């Protein structure tokens, strides 16, 4: 499938799929969206100094991973990060994006390179407090239980891939989470909210990133003792 590099409204670049008329990030700002959805309304719920297991559904360009690494440094977090991606991008195209410059993190070039070039299916020790495992599998094929404190659900939109926003997929996500785990997504569609609620998530509508009125956050209810 053809892919083109575009610039979003905040100056950061993204990847565009002409065949689907779909972007990897919001056209209103790739970095703004990532910080608002996944950091402000996800990672920031956890205390400084915490140890957190993050699962990203849709690793894409690795932008969310790099931002999470930068936040881990700033807040002394220990992160075990797993990214799922069914169709990995070519590394050459990723290095043509301007994310590192826009993040003003050129001093972390070696880390960025290690994130992008680390072997798939293998644990990569990006730093003493940040581990990364990239898995080249489809969402429906992920079946691990109780492995995530926080899920970034960053799939392509339901308009082009409705099969990724179903109850069966969110059931996989629910099972993958620990009690009190959190899932955040840029989507605010009613069908997505209902699918999340149907599998057990307590769902909140929150103000969305630039260009979107709302987004969704789900929390896994604690199991009651028998």
Q: Largest Cα–Cα distance of the chain, in whole Å?
A: 54
CA distance linking residue 30 with residue 186, whole number of Å: 12
CA distance linking residue 36 with residue 125, whole number of Å: 27
pTM: 0.96
pLDDT confidence of residue 226: 47
Write down the mean pLDDT value for the chain. 96
CA distance linking residue 222 with residue 70, whole number of Å: 30
C-alpha distance from residue 25 to each of 8, 126, 130, 155, 202 (Å): 8, 24, 24, 10, 26
Residue 17: other Cβ atoms inside 10 A? 15
Place of tokens 């290690």: 114
Alpha carbon 206 to chain centroid, angstroms: 17
CATH assignment of 28-220, among 3.40.50.150, 3.40.50.1100, 1.10.287.990, 3.40.225.10: 3.40.50.150
Mean pLDDT of 149-166: 96
Q: Tens digits of per-residue pLDDT, 176-216?
A: 999 999 999 999 999 999 999 999 999 999 999 999 999 99
Mean pLDDT of 43-54: 98
Residue 224 has pLDDT above 70, yes or no: no
Q: Tens digits of per-residue pLDDT, 70-129?
A: 999 999 999 999 999 999 999 999 999 999 999 999 999 999 999 999 999 999 999 999
Residue 169 has pLDDT above 80, yes or no: yes
CA distance linking residue 223 with residue 186, whole number of Å: 27
For 188, counting Cβ atoms within 10 Å of its Cβ (0-12 exposed, 13-18 middle, 19+ buried), the class is middle
pLDDT confidence of residue 223: 60
pLDDT confidence of residue 1: 86
CA distance linking residue 131 with residue 33, whole number of Å: 24
Residue 34 has pLDDT above 70, yes or no: yes
Domain borders along the chain are 28-220
Phi, psi of 68 (to 5 degrees): -65, -40
């Amino acid at each position: 499938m053809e892919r083109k590099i575009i610039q979003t409204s905040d100056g950061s670049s993204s990847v565009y799929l002409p065949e689907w008329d779909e972007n990897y990030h919001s056209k209103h700002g790739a970095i703004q969206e990532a910080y608002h959805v996944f950091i402000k309304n996800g990672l920031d719920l956890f205390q400084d100094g915490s140890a957190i297991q993050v699962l990203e559904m849709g690793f894409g360009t690795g932008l969310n991973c790099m931002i999470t690494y930068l936040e881990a440094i700033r807040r002394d977090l220990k992160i075990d990060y797993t990214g799922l991606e069914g169709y990995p991008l070519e590394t050459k195209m990723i290095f043509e994006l301007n994310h590192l410059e826009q993040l003003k993190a050129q001093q972390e070039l070696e880390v960025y390179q290690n994130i992008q070039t680390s072997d798939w299916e293998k644990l990569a020790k990006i730093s003493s407090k940040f581990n990364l495992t990239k898995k080249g599998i489809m969402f429906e094929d992920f079946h691990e239980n109780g492995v995530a404190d926080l899920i970034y659900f960053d799939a392509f939109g339901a308009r082009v891939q409705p099969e990724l926003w179903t109850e069966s997929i969110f059931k996989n996500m629910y099972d993958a989470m620990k009690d009190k785990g959190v899932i955040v997504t840029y989507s605010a569609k009613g069908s997505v909210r209902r699918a999340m609620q149907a599998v057990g998530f307590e769902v909140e509508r929150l103000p969305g990133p630039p260009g979107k009125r709302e987004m969704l956050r789900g929390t896994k209810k604690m199991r009651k003792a028998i």
